[in-house]
A and B are shown apart, each in its own frame.
Chain A
Amino acid sequence: MTQLDKNTKTITIPANTKQKDPIFLHEKKMVVVLQEGATATIFDHDSVCDLTFHVHAKSTLNFFSTITQAGSKTISIFLHGQFACAYLNGAYLLYENQTCSLQVRQEHLFPNTESLFVLRGALAGTADVSIHGTIFVDKQAKKTKASHQNKTILLSSGAQVQSCPDLAVLNKNVRCSHGSAIGKFDETMLFYMCSRGLTKKMAKRHLLESFLASPFAQLDDKKRETFLKPVTKKLQEMV
């Protein structure tokens, strides 16, 4: 059973609880604690600005987030016990002169932990986003597997993205990586879709939708569609 502390802003998933339904976050500043053996799925739509996860031994966190409004967001994940896992998936879509700053920290403090962060985004107008992702692996955190991947499509000449991934590793027996890609639409894909009868506008919209939806592939179709509604709606305004 979920315990929502009074006066806020802390959610604790008790030990050995497999949370079936996703938890939607609504507060600006939140702490989520997964006790030993717990599993939880957390959703966030532009709500939280400062989010901290404490993931204990043998627990699994699945976090899904979308950003469609300007602002600043800090997400910190601390893996506090062996075999703790955290999977973070996000998508952002900004246009006009929206600016956004996203800071993500994945901190591995124990052996045999895993954290994967996947982010997809698209910028139009003169939107500006800066992404700072840090992976820290403590000296004792051997057999850590950690990754940070972000990809962005720029839709206009005034848009700008800054990507600053950071790896700080103090144990040799790990697999850590980060990757970043920034670019434009693949013209070949656009051409293919147009050759199938779609207008260029429709083709762009479909390609963007699938690009932004890719981090959420593990959700079932209905949940994914519901979760991505704000993004889809904004895409229709933009493209």
Chain B
Amino acid sequence: MTDSRFEICIQLIRNGERDGLREIYEEYFKLIFSVMQSVVKNREDAEDLTSDFFVKLWDRLADAYKGGNGHKSWLVAAARNMAIDRLRRNSRTETTLNAQEETGGIPEPKSGENLEEAVIGSITVSEALAVLSETECMVVSLKLFSDFTFKEIAKALKMPQGTVAWRYQSAVKKLQNYFKGVCGT
């Protein structure tokens, strides 16, 4: 979605037209969900927060949008802030999965699949992402899943671009080492 199109949708929301919200939702609900999940590390809470986010976008956030470039960064920043606020309000500690939990043995590779792929397939990515910090998790999700540029991520997370790049490389290295360790190579 272009910035111009986003502004049109925001204008529709301000005018009470649900089509504007629906269009933004269709485009970005997975992005918002992934942001929420990166922070709260819990699928059900992330779903609740995603729902709350779009309701809040309808009620208040659209009025606060100032336009210009970078609507994706704006959405991510707003979603992340909302998730962090919820965490603080609920005084929850982050739950992480024990990355060393047994998964029931290494599966047999299927035909055409090598051992590495079979092992990786049996590990949920959430377990792998649990080795990352919240910021690293967010950076990796935005970069790999949502194809954000480092500049966009820097704007969304309010950190220097160089720091984003470094965090990303660090997170990728951790994930690669994690999968390498699980594969036993």
Verify that A and B bind, or say they do not.
no
